[in-house]
Structure formats: structure tokens, C-alpha cells
Copies of this chain bind each other. A is one copy, B any other.
Amino acid sequence: MHKIFRLIHQDNSSSARMGKLITPHGEITTPIFLPVATQATVKTLSNQDLFACRIEMLLANAYHLYLRPGGEIIKKAGGLHKFMSWPKPILTDSGGFQVLSLSDLRKIDDAGVEFQSHIDGTRYFFTPEEIIHFQKDVLGSDIMMVLDECVEFPCEKDRARLAMERTVNWALRSKKNFCAERLTVSPQLLFGIVQGSTYLDLRKECVERLLEIGFDGYAVGGVSVGEPQDLIYEVSSQVAKLLPKDKPRYLMGVGHPEDMLEAISCGYDIFDCVVPTRNGRNGCAFTYQGKILLRNAQYKDDFSPLDENCPCYACENYSRAYIRHLLNAEEILGLRLVSLHNIYFYNELMQKVKEAIQNNSFLNFKKDFLANYLKA
């Protein structure tokens, strides 16, 4: 059978690697950053904008789409790709993290999760099986995630063990429901999620039990949930060593450029984060010389672009002073231009990362990038 994931190049200077992943809506090259389209749209951006940023894959959220617009409408549309007119791959998160962070009155037991919608208070009960059905048959996701139990930081070890064991149990049920008959060369993919909080023995046990079940890729969840940076780095680097080399590795919800580069040096392949769009809407632009807070008075008559060397639409056409004016005047175009630039920046950074890996110079690239990016 055709391999779904294959490594193209392994960097000499680190564990960074470059790979190809085949999905029903096309092949992607890793490392890759996925812009977050929680509610079937990357906030403020059109598909045209995303194409202009050369985005190859998005992340959407099963929890949000289940609640609104709901499965009936997306099914009728012919799936999520048709509903949102996005022809390229989509990875969908199961909603484990959202149930944790957004919903009221949640009650988790081995059967599944009971919770009230954060939108209108309606009561729902999610099972691991239903979430797979929703992602696979209703949304038509290219890559779907198992339902997991994500715990906050800090978390008592007993509580973390319980959540990890439930996550493994749910992963097994998800895999069974997924019904992995691989009749085509580009089937939908199912990823397992490693939990275990900051306890490395729990993480190790989780990895081993997930490997026994077997998934198309492995995600590391429950990181960047409030713990300090060194603990994020420690847990993610240790877990990476336990994951099989021949499967894609997804570090969920990370992050900032410096965090992604660190994780790439440990061998992670896939990332998603709301930071480029959320910070964008707050007037924070990412550049190779560091972050720019556009509301600062120093930019009021700065007629240079957000980033001198950036060829994105915002930088080719508008100045910092103009975008600052838009933000101050609460004009939507301001939110959009900074979001667009940030998504372009994140994607371009990943292109540079891939070049560096191919040249066996990832560590040098990382060092040079950080020297400029963090100097401000």
C-alpha cells in the first residue's frame, strides 16, 4: 500500500525533519503551520487571502461546528470543504480542549462528555464514537482527532492518570468506530492524542498504549495550557523521543514562532495556534525583527510597511501609520491586514524552515532567526 506519510529529509544538525503527508484533498509538506478556522473561517480572512498566503491546510473545530451551524446543514452542503469552499486539506480537532475551556457544567465519565453549549445552554452528550462519525461522515475531515480528556495545569497526578487512561480508552473506541478499511490510496486519517499532563511516566505509558492501538499520526495534547515555557519544552521534547519516526507528529496549540522552532528541532511536524490571528486582531504584527505593537505612538507617522521585506498584500500596499489609524478607528480592515500579514509570516517561516532542513542547517537557521526575532 502507498505510504500515507514519508520522510523526505532528516536534518543533520537536529531532529528536525521534512515529510510528505497524503490526504484526501491533497499532499502537504511538513513542517506545516495550520491557521485556525474554528468556526469554518480563519477570522477576518477569505479563502482568497489564504491562497495568497499559500496556505495548504486549515484546522477547524468539531465542537464548534457541531453546535453551530450543526451537522444537518454541513451534511446538506456536502461536507465542510464544500460548506466553506475550501478545496484543500482540513484537520479537525475533536473538541476535547473546547469542552474543557468553553462549556458550562461539563460532566465527564467513561461513557463520554455531558456539557451545556456555550452559545445557548443546550445540553449535549458527546461520545468518542459520535465525534468520529461527525468528523468522518459529516464534516469529511482529511485528518480527524480522537476525543481526549485534556486537563488544566497544574494538575494532581491521580487526576492526570485518570484523564490519560480515559483518553486511551476513548482512543481505542474511536479507532474501532473509525473502521479503518483502507480502500483508497488517500484515505481519511485518524490521529491519536498523547495526554498525561507534565508527568513523563504518564506520557510514556500513554504513548505505548496508543502505539498498540495504532494511528496514522500522533498528537501531543495538554501542552501550552498555562505551564511555563521550560516545562512546555521539556515535556514536548521528551514525548517526541517516544514517538515513532515514520508517523507525523502534531504538537497541538503551539504556538509562538520560538516555540515552534524549538519543537521542530525535536522532530515535530504539524502545528496550529490562534496566535497569528488573535494577536493580529489586537494590533500585534510578527516580523523577523520581532513583534510590533501597532497601537504604540511611535508608529503614528511611520509610513514603512509592517515588514520591509514582506511581499504580503498588507505590506505591499499599506503603511504602519495607516494600519494603526484603522485599529484606532476600530475599522475592520485593520484587523484583517494584520491577521493577513501574520498568517503570511507564519507560513513563510515554515517555508524557510523546510529550506533549512533540506540544507542540513536547521539549528543555524533557528539561531539566526531567534537572534533577530528576540533582540527587540
Q: Which residues from chain A sit less than 8 Å from chain B, CB to CB?
A: 39-41, 43-48, 68-69, 72-73, 76-77, 83-85, 300-301, 303, 313, 317-319, 321-322, 324-326, 328-329, 331-333, 335-337
CB distance from A158 to the nearest CB of B (A): 38
CB distance from A259 to the nearest CB of B (A): 27
Chain B, residue nearest A65 (CB): B325
Q: List 22 A-B contacts (CB under 8 A).
A: A39-B326, A39-B329, A39-B331, A40-B325, A41-B333, A43-B331, A43-B332, A43-B333, A44-B332, A47-B317, A68-B328, A69-B300, A69-B321, A69-B325, A72-B301, A73-B321, A76-B303, A83-B319, A83-B321, A84-B322, A85-B322, A336-B336
The answer to whether residues A300 and B73 also contact, given A48-B313, A85-B322 and a CB cut-off of 8 A, is: yes
Question: Which residues of chain B are within 8 angstroms of A324 by Cβ–Cβ distance?
Answer: 69
Other than the known A73-B301, A76-B303, A83-B319, what 15 A-B pairs have Cβ atoms closer than 8 Å? A39-B329, A40-B322, A40-B326, A41-B329, A41-B331, A44-B333, A47-B317, A48-B313, A68-B328, A69-B325, A69-B328, A73-B300, A332-B332, A332-B336, A336-B336
Copies of this chain, how many?
2
CB distance from A31 to the nearest CB of B (A): 27
Question: Which residue in B48, B313, B325 is a CB contact (below 8 Å) of A68?
Answer: B325
